[in-house]
A and B are shown apart, each in its own frame.
Chain A
């Protein structure tokens, strides 16, 4: 009866946020986080924050839901980084729509900055609006999108460069299970409040992500644990020898953090993320400084706890 359902192959599973261990405050980490941490179905597990209950799950089955049809909503995902500017505009799909993301090409997109920057970002292709505009730390940028009579606005402040200290693979033993973790440590940016977004791609496909803030240990080392997979598992989450991991580390502002953190909780709360734009669209705008760390997974490199 124990975890019978969980052991199945889950090919093509939606990419889930990583363990919430580094989100929000400590209680999240101890409740939902602990359980997500132990068993890498974080979205599912975070819904019922009690370990014992999971041990009692005896059956899982697919059910049919008659999804309600709703009018599509615009989605704006805007990034102004230390290298360029990319804005992607799309619309929501219905639940039973299996086509790829719809693209929006007719929007007028402008960015202004507290340093006097004022720029129109042209549509490039497939709903992506791009520019070589780079952010400058400390500058507040405002994004305006005019689209079919709608006006969407958001602001974001560019951050300083984050600093990676270390990344390693670690086996953690818990009861009869061994779980492979990614242990990522940052050096906090000194003397200011900071927020971080961490995203791991595996062979070019999103694999795990997390957000954290520096309140846990300001000005010192910050730690983020990622749950990768359970030893013996055969689902698509298991890292294979030679897999390429690309880790994006971004210093983001509080508004972007609030959006991503509430997005992290969505499966638990059943609500949309906290609105980042005015005007009624989904998505968020983030001015960030990003560094990238690449590594290759070799099972032999994984350390024992």
Chain B
């Protein structure tokens, strides 16, 4: 939350001078966003970290006309989407389940609506976002791959503002303003899909349900000169039901209360209470068959952060203590009722320093201690080699079953190869060499049959059997920018090794056993690659080119004869080209082209007959590749004239008029312009006599045009 705090600090610092001047506040906001771009990428000591420019990201063409931060992230170097249907992302060979997404410090799981077509986050609610590609400063933990740290936007303290937007499938509205002018503000934004309204109008579908909604609310209260309180709340829900026969529901809830205290200078402390609850609930009921299963991940935490700013150095230290409650699944079927639910106590303490060792050399070094203790109250067991239960342990409630201690060193070094800014050349060319290493660990493990996150994923925690997943990553990169940040580029290589990754035993699926540990085997993973990016940041044409060459592999005793195999997310080449052209004051055009090598998948290598059925023989895991993926998305945005609006607003301001400026925006977008059907699933079909095996590719989206309308005041 360091970056978030810095930004908030910046806002706090400017607020006295901005008084009630909303125009100037907005302008300051824009300056801050710009100054965080190329300079941040090149100068920041933290390698593999990207402070996301939300404006730039959300201007990329979108599916169904909905600005979506998660899909925009997928366009960055080293980041891959899970699939066409997913808003989850994969970083440097990690899986989406190895990422941690924080919203105002509360974890949010399964970050998609409608099976991932939309991300869980309404972009109107977002203030700041930083993505760490596995090289985390010590303040962050709990993820063996990336951390996406999102900070909710706070409301305007000077005047009431709002906005509304209607897209092809959903609509949203935002309202913000002061509770006590210059002291306290609120922001509330809500989004809901409206397809179900049309379902109700049809004879065949009127008894079906298909919707999602999310609500973000944030209150902030400045108490005196040094203290500020933030209360943040987020919930998102999804429901798909076919009459009264099938019901699939899941929801996320994340809430936090934060007290920010400034000691003076740039030093501060942050005390946060947070709560997170992810829940799925699914059932069917027809023809006398009634069954239900549900699961959850609940977390309640206290977190304390200290940030000490010394002359040229900074120090962050803190601790976090959490109680976790994970129910992998609770199944009810006729007379049978099974559940696996476990609790754990998780503690972490960290210290991280940023030291300016010389004008050209900055170092960040830290250490994080992670302690994870599964608690008794439910059954634990030992397993035979074949996955059968050998022995049960019945620990008392709250009794510690085992404590996993992980010591996680973190380090990053930035050596400036060209002169730093001076008064004579405030924005010279800059070139930096960054070297970084981080060890991270994860104790909540997701198990999924496919690459795509779904509400049917099962989760387990580290236990007496399952060990923490531990990742070590090292990276080396060269980052440069031209004078005035007009262009910047980077080339970064990484190597990542992960211990205790989990995968299914052969022949097991997510429901083969209630005890999730009986389904899985531990192994190791590795990923390495090079990421290249080039950006143009100024002028009428802006955008970036990102290319990643990467490998991702897994090895598990008992799977693929114990040999290394390509991970499901292994893709050799990955290219995104994103462009934004400001045609006129009112019109801007955007385009994004995405290409990646087909991903690894398992195909049969032989066939035989059992019970008069043709059955496939699998000789290797992920030994084949799907066809390559590529598509072009374009959009055109028509805005009410910004320049004219601003001039009018300034004139009104100078003349003391308080007229509200209304901004409107039409977004016309086309997803997959040249209608290329990309692989989503490959299936095999045979004739009854086993001849003529056909591999069939199924695709999700062809060309999808959409339009959305936004209004802001």
Which A residues are closer than 8 A to B by beta carbons?
Answer: 1, 5, 10, 12-15, 17, 21, 24-31, 33-34, 37-38, 43-44, 47-53, 56-65, 67-70, 72-73, 75, 77, 90-96, 98-101, 170, 172-176, 181, 183, 199, 201, 205-206, 209, 215-218, 220, 223, 225, 258, 260-263, 265-274, 282-284, 305
Contact = CB atoms under 8 A, between A and B. Distances in A.
Nearest to B686: A14
A195 to B, nearest CB: 14
Chain A interface mostly: mixed
Contacts of A75: 608-610
Nearest to A23: B511
A10 B286 contact: no
Given A73-B606, A75-B610, A77-B611, A30 B690 contact: no
A43 B683 contact: yes
A73 B617 CA distance: 9
A223 B609 CA distance: 27
B335 A218 contact: yes
B608 A53 contact: no
Contacts of A5: 698
Given A26-B336, A271-B602, 6 more contacts: A67-B603, A70-B617, A98-B690, A181-B287, A262-B507, A266-B616
Contacts of B513: 25
Nearest to A93: B607
A270 to B, nearest CB: 3
Nearest to A185: B288
B613 A206 contact: yes
Nearest to B504: A269
Contacts of B602: 270-271
Interface string B593-637: 000000001111111111111111111110110010000000000
Given A217-B334, A268-B449, A25 B514 contact: yes
B206 to A, nearest CB: 10
B243 A174 contact: yes
Contacts of B243: 173-175
Given A44-B683, A263-B610, A28 B511 contact: yes
Please list the 7 inter-chain residue pairs (A to B) with the smallest Cβ-Cβ separation, ordered nearest first: A270-B602, A262-B507, A176-B204, A12-B687, A98-B691, A28-B511, A14-B686
A272 B288 contact: no
Contact of A27 (B245, B456, B614): B456
A182 B293 CA distance: 24
A216 B336 contact: yes
B205 A53 contact: no
Contacts of A37: 284
Given A25-B333, A30-B293, A68-B623, A49 B449 contact: yes
A77 to B, nearest CB: 6
A140 B474 CA distance: 57
B459 interface: no
Interface string B284-312: 10111101110000000000000000000
B289 A223 contact: yes
Contacts of A217: 334-336
How many B residues touch the partner, as a band? 35 or more
B688 interface: yes
B287 A14 contact: no
Given A34-B284, A270-B618, A174 B242 contact: yes
B357 interface: no
19 contacts: A26-B336, A27-B510, A27-B511, A28-B509, A30-B283, A30-B292, A51-B248, A53-B115, A57-B700, A72-B606, A73-B606, A75-B610, A77-B609, A93-B608, A101-B608, A176-B205, A201-B612, A205-B688, A263-B610
A77 B334 contact: no
A25 to B, nearest CB: 5
A21 B289 CA distance: 10
B509 A269 contact: yes
B26 interface: no
Contact of B688 (A14, A209, A220, A223): A14
Nearest to A305: B287
A267 B604 CA distance: 10
Contacts of B689: 100
B30 interface: no
Contact of B613 (A15, A63, A223): A15
Contacts of A172: 245, 286-287
B557 to A, nearest CB: 15
Contacts of B455: 50
A304 B303 CA distance: 58
A205 B614 CA distance: 12
Interface stretch (B253-261, B365-373, B674-682): B674-682
A199 B611 contact: yes
Nearest to A57: B698
A48 B605 contact: no
Contacts of B514: 25
B199 to A, nearest CB: 9
A92 B608 CA distance: 5
Contact of B606 (A51, A59, A93, A265): A93
B694 A17 contact: no
A173 B609 CA distance: 35
B282 interface: yes
B695 A62 contact: yes
B240 interface: yes
Contact of B696 (A56, A63, A99, A176): A63
